[in-house]
Structure 1
Amino acid sequence: MISTVQLVGQNSFKVEVYGEGEPLLLFPGFSSTADVYQEIVTNFSKDYQVHAFTFAGFGDVAPIQSAWLETIKKDVEIYITKKKLKNISILGHSMGGTLGLWLASDQDVYKKLILIDALPAMGALMFPNYDSESIQYDSPYNQQLLEMSEADFETMANQMAINLSLDPEGQKRIVEDMLRSDRKTYVYGYTDLLKLDLRQKLANIKVPVYILAANLPYGKEVATINYKNQYQNLSDYKLHFAENSKHFIMYDQPVWLIDQIKMALNTNE
């Protein structure tokens, strides 16, 4: 299945490297680990050098101090430079896709981006009259999350997982990842993500972007409007929807997802 596995990393992440070929960087979503990409690693490490990331505070990777998401971004750029990676494609789910957009909006060193249900400004979807400056790290909600008992946190995780995947086994894996997360990373790292607004910076991205989106829970019509609003400053992107799928498309529609990734990687646009 896999030719070689090499574990490398900065302080803010761990990377598992599989196979040989052009580099394909796999960024998981918030609180997920590289395990979320198991089937994708199996399928693509035959033709690509796959770099599967797990970020600090999640899985078995130790947490780091604040400026979590910004530190990850800078460390990924250092990693790419140190490894002398060229012709890089990024595959990112949710927050991992947002990170991919951030990287590509700052440096023109990437070949293409493949985003799984990811937005440039997640906070703008969640809050009416969104203003990134108004979102605070020291908030009553964050304090409540920090003080929440393990039992209450598990109850919350189970409720969230139902909204994130239709697949019972997928829901179980989502909960397991959430329960393994460092609590401060979970609280303040998510605040980092909510504060990040890349909508204007999308104009800097010159490479093809493929967005693989879920049609649930909003329905395809509403989801299309949300995506078009958020990506209006991006000049070149293609949007495809997974039918009957929630946010974790890799759990709900794994065959469709792998087929779409193959098409995106093989398209010379």
Structure 2
Amino acid sequence: MKKITTTITLLVLFSLSVSANLQSIQVEVKGKGKPVLLLPGFTCTGDVWNETVAEISETNECHIVTYAGFGNVPALDTLWLQTIKQDLDMYIEQNKFEDLSIIGHSMGGTLALWLASDKKHDIKNLLVVDALPCMGALMIPNYSSETITYDTPYARNLLSMSDSDFSGMAMNFAKFMCKNTSKHEQIANWIKISDRKTYVHGYFDLLKIDLRKSLSKIDIPVRILAAANPSKSMVENAYNEQYALLDNKDVIYIENSAHFIMYDQYDVYIENVKQILE
């Protein structure tokens, strides 16, 4: 009897340990078929994939991720982006996925590249939607990840900003990142309800990530949808430079689209989704 009790206790402790280790992500599963991991961008919840899931869930098992600090998922009091990456590794391992496809938008695309470059998993292909392996290098002159810290005037200003001012900023960002006016309120609301510390420190976590050299380790097909905003000529050099070491890639520039390609040019976007899944 004592041995049985001990076994049950160990199983419970293991279950609790696994649950704790996956606290940085919440995953909803819909559909049946070949597995697809859907990774949203910064501040977005898994609802950003609603239209995508409606289209593909009849033939694909969709694993829809929301990150800690966004939507209704409690924030973390630890390293944010690194913990998300570790939990995604564990989630893939626990589910024993075979021929996994990953679709990632923005930060989710960067995470998809990170997962593939580690070569730990049986990943079939990636669809990267308007994402770069090193966003910081695009924004910061003389970029060096070691010099990026949480304690900056910009960070302190965001942390102390009033809810009203933060809401106004969120709507301005939504209008800049999406041409589809019907989606502005939703995008702005995702920003507004995000945990403020996660929003600030998580953004700096993302700026520190530099995967440009690691791309040489990826040998699976990677399709990249790039928003040609304001024009292809304005963004093409950045994509050529950042993805220079990725051999097996197909970069498609999407005209008349801002950052949220799945909202601005849905038909072109979903056609590419179907192609990589088929």
The alignment's TM-score, normalised by the length of structure 2, stands at 0.91
Find the counterpart in structure 2 of residue 23 from structure 1. 35
The 5 Å alignment of 1:74-153 reads 74-109=86-121, 110-153=123-166
Find the counterpart in structure 2 of residue 4 from structure 1. none
Task: Report SS of the residue matched to 1:151.
Answer: helix
Aligned-residue identity in percent: 48
Q: In the comparison of the two structures, how many residue pairs are matched?
A: 258
Deviation at 1:122, TM superposition (A): 0.3
Find the counterpart in structure 1 of residue 182 from structure 2. 169
> Which AA in structure 1 matches 2:79?
A
Find the counterpart in structure 2 of residue 11 from structure 1. 23
Instruction: Give CA deviations for 1:94-118 in whole Å, capped at 9, x if unaligned.
Output: 0000000011111242110100001
Find the counterpart in structure 1 of residue 246 from structure 2. 234
Higher Cα Rg, which structure: 2
Distance 2:92 2:173 in 1: 34
> Which AA in structure 1 matches 2:215?
L
> Which AA in structure 1 matches 2:240?
K
Task: Report SS of the residue matched to 2:74.
Answer: coil
Task: Report SS of the residue matched to 2:42.
Answer: coil
Work out whether residues 33 and 58 of structure 1, in 8 Å CA contact, stay in contact via their aligned partners in 2: yes
Distance 1:231 1:108 in 2: 21
Work out whether residues 18 and 49 of structure 1, in 8 Å CA contact, stay in contact via their aligned partners in 2: yes
Task: Report SS of the residue matched to 1:128.
Answer: coil
RMSD: 1.2
Work out whether residues 108 and 205 of structure 1, in 8 Å CA contact, stay in contact via their aligned partners in 2: no
Task: Report SS of the residue matched to 2:136.
Answer: helix
Deviation at 1:265, TM superposition (A): 2.1
Instruction: Give CA deviations for 1:19-65 in whole Å, capped at 9, x if unaligned.
Output: 11111000000000111110100011111110010000000000012
Deviation at 1:236, TM superposition (A): 0.8
Work out whether residues 108 and 206 of structure 1, in 8 Å CA contact, stay in contact via their aligned partners in 2: no
> Which AA in structure 1 matches 2:128?
L
Distance 1:96 1:20 in 2: 22
Structure 2 portions without partners, runs of 5+:
1-18
Deviation at 1:230, TM superposition (A): 0.2
Distance 1:72 1:137 in 2: 18
Task: Report SS of the residue matched to 2:61.
Answer: strand
Q: Which runs of 4+ in 1 moved over 2 A?
A: none
Work out whether residues 120 and 231 of structure 1, in 8 Å CA contact, stay in contact via their aligned partners in 2: yes
Distance 1:240 1:154 in 2: 33
Distance 1:169 1:56 in 2: 26
Structure 1 portions without partners, runs of 5+:
1-7
Work out whether residues 12 and 75 of structure 1, in 8 Å CA contact, stay in contact via their aligned partners in 2: yes
Distance 1:86 1:134 in 2: 39
Instruction: Give CA deviations for 1:244-265 in whole Å, capped at 9, x if unaligned.
Output: 0000011111111101111122
Find the counterpart in structure 1 of residue 69 from structure 2. 57
Counterpart of 2:273 (choices 234, 237, 261) is 261
Task: Report SS of the residue matched to 2:70.
Answer: coil
Find the counterpart in structure 2 of residue 215 from structure 1. 228
> Which AA in structure 1 matches 2:181?
P
Distance 2:183 2:136 in 1: 25
Find the counterpart in structure 2 of residue 192 from structure 1. 205
